[in-house]
């Protein structure tokens, strides 16, 4: 039997797809590409923006067109927040939200036998345990995601995630150690710790553990080459975490700290738990201890009530922050979130203009950050090769290109950085 997967959204979703692929492989299924003919299609959906939901529906319909006899299963955030809508799409056989994915193979085999649709979506707010699905295999790559945390209870006013992912749940340290060991055994050079609300790791566990303990647990794995953190809420970055990063060069000097807006009135309306001054203090404390660290961020433009003056405040603030990379999102009202009902919704045209303007600022900042490293030599983990050019990432997330062939992928080399090139820098291997 052949199973095909497609994933939308975040690193957590990607990790969950890999665990589900492993469950099918364990039961003798072969995994084929999503555009190929298959007996089972799994669409792991996203609901962060309306575009994510629209793409999810398109992929579901594509699966049905590829093989009308196939079992079509829909998982993930969109299935969790809108199961009726998903059930209304012709050809959908199974709906599994953001929990109980460990049952996915049994559910498929039940449909193959009974030919009746199954919907097991239930109230996510009742979820108690971290769904610990071991990774049986992972596609050949240099970097592996390791999910250690689930859920969020921050309820930022624009965000659908708490309603899709439920309360905080953390993976036990023993399971983290086991998975990290397995990933290193499988040949991965870099592990990326990921979660829905990574900084809240451990808050739900009885023992007094937090993200620093999870980090130390992975760093204790002898064969590990690199450890990287996924997205983190700025206020949860502790001095202890910075200290571990200063002590262990395997711990990548990279932070993704969503800012969302650079105006305090907008931050308050978003229910973000910090002011621009507090965020700035944190960035300065990072830069004092780790001057070369890369800091990237997310920004929402066109939030309801965002005046031109507030937008300009955000522009000025991000220009002082000099982010290495910025992801910019025009505000997308999510049904069921408070901000979708806020007055003073901004026109699509204005959102587009502000997103474009901010994109220009983002590219300028990125180039300024990259230029600082010309003439330096840095460690690069090479990942891919195309037409005699290999590329990979430094610890501080610079994309580095050099001449070379496939045998360099998955290896770490010291590279002298020579010039800006494409979305990164060109360099020469010196070791
Ligand atoms: S912290 Fe805010 S933006 Fe992030 S997942 Fe939680 S509610 Fe959403």
Q: Supply angle C-alpha 14, 17, 22, rounded to 5.
A: 130
pTM: 0.93
Q: Whose CA is nearest to atom 2 of ligand 1?
A: 156
47 closest CA partner among 336, 347, 267: 336
| pLDDT over 80 at 215, yes or no | yes
Banded pLDDT at 397 (limits 50, 70, 90): very high
Distance 150 CA to ligand 1 centre (A): 12
Distance 157 CA to ligand 1 centre (A): 9
The pLDDT of residue 141 is 67
Instruction: Name all domains of the chain by residue range, CATH numbers in brackets.
Output: 2-123 (3.40.50.12160), 140-226+235-252 (3.30.750.210), 255-372 (3.30.750.200), 377-429 (2.40.50)
Q: Which two tokens stand for residue 75?
A: 């998982």
The pLDDT of residue 133 is 84
Banded pLDDT at 394 (limits 50, 70, 90): very high
The pLDDT of residue 140 is 62
The pLDDT of residue 138 is 61
Q: Whose CA is nearest to atom 4 of ligand 1?
A: 197
Q: In what order do the strands lie in the sheet with 2-7?
A: 30-32, 2-7, 40-45, 71-76, 94-95, 118-119
Contact of 275 with 267, CB cutoff 8 Å: yes
List, for residues 133-178, the tens digit of each pLDDT value.
877 666 566 899 999 999 999 999 999 999 999 999 999 999 999 9
The pLDDT of residue 266 is 98
Distance 97 CA to ligand 1 centre (A): 18
The pLDDT of residue 235 is 80
- pLDDT, average across residues 92-111: 96
% of the chain beyond a pLDDT of 90 = 94
- Cα R_g (the chain), whole angstroms: 22
The pLDDT of residue 139 is 59
The pLDDT of residue 207 is 77
Q: How many CB atoms lie within 10 A of CB 351?
A: 20
Distance 3 CA to ligand 1 centre (A): 32
Q: What's the mean per-residue pLDDT of the chain?
A: 95
Closest ligand 1 atom to residue 159 Cα is: 8
Angle between helices 308-321 and 348-371 (to 10 degrees): 10
The pLDDT of residue 302 is 98
| pLDDT over 80 at 25, yes or no | yes
Distance 330 CA to ligand 1 centre (A): 16
- pLDDT, average across residues 81-97: 97
- State residue 101 phi and psi, 5-degree precision: -75, -15
Banded pLDDT at 373 (limits 50, 70, 90): very high
Residues within a 6 A CB radius of ligand 1: 152, 154-156, 159, 161-162, 196-197, 233
Residue tagged 């959906």 (tokens): 45
Mutate to test the pocket of ligand 1, among 10, 81, 162, 235 (most ligand atoms within 8 A of CB): 162
The pLDDT of residue 250 is 97
Banded pLDDT at 263 (limits 50, 70, 90): very high
């Amino acid at each position: 039997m052949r199973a095909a997967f497609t994933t939308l959204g975040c690193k957590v979703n990607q990790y969950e797809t890999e665990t589900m692929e492993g469950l099918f492989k364990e039961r003798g299924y072969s995994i084929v590409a999503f555009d190929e003919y298959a007996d089972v299609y799994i669409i792991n959906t996203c609901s962060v923006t309306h575009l994510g939901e629209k793409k999810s529906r398109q992929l579901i319909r594509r699966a049905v067109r590829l093989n009308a006899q196939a079992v079509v299963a829909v998982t993930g955030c969109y299935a969790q927040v809108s199961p009726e809508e998903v059930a209304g799409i012709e050809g959908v056989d199974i709906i599994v939200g953001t929990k109980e994915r460990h049952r996915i193979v049994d559910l498929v085999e039940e449909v193959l036998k009974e030919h009746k649709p199954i919907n097991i979506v239930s109230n996510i707010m009742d979820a108690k345990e971290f769904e610990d699905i071991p990774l049986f295999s992972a596609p050949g790559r240099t970097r592996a995601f390791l999910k250690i945390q689930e859920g969020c209870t921050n309820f930022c006013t624009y965000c659908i995630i708490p309603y899709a992912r439920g309360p905080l749940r953390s993976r036990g340290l023993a399971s983290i150690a086991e998975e990290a060991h397995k990933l290193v055994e499988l040949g991965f050079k870099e592990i990326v710790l990921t979660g829905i609300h990574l900084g809240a790791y451990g808050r739900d566990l009885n023992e007094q553990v937090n993200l620093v303990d999870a980090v130390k647990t992975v760093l204790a794995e002898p064969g590990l080459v690199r450890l990287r953190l996924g997205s983190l809420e700025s206020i949860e970055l502790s001095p202890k975490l910075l200290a571990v990063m200063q002590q262990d060069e395997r711990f990548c000097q990279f932070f993704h700290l969503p800012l969302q807006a650079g105006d305090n009135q907008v931050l308050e309306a978003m229910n973000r738990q910090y002011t621009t001054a507090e965020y700035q203090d944190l960035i300065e404390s990072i830069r004092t201890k780790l001057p070369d660290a890369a800091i990237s961020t997310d920004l929402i433009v066109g939030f309801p009530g965002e005046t031109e003056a507030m937008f300009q405040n955000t522009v000025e603030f991000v220009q002082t922050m000099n982010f290495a990379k910025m992801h910019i999102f025009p505000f997308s009202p999510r049904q069921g979130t408070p901000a979708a009902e806020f007055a003073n919704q901004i026109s699509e045209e204005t959102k587009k203009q502000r997103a474009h303007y901010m994109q220009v600022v983002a590219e300028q900042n990125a180039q300024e950050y990259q230029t600082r490293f010309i003439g330096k030599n840095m460690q690069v983990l090479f990942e891919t090769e195309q037409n005699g050019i290999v590329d990979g990432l430094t610890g501080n997330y610079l994309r580095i290109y050099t001449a070379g062939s496939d045998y360099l992928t998955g290896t770490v080399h010291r590279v002298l950085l020579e010039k800006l090139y494409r979305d990164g820098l060109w360099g020469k291997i010196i070791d």
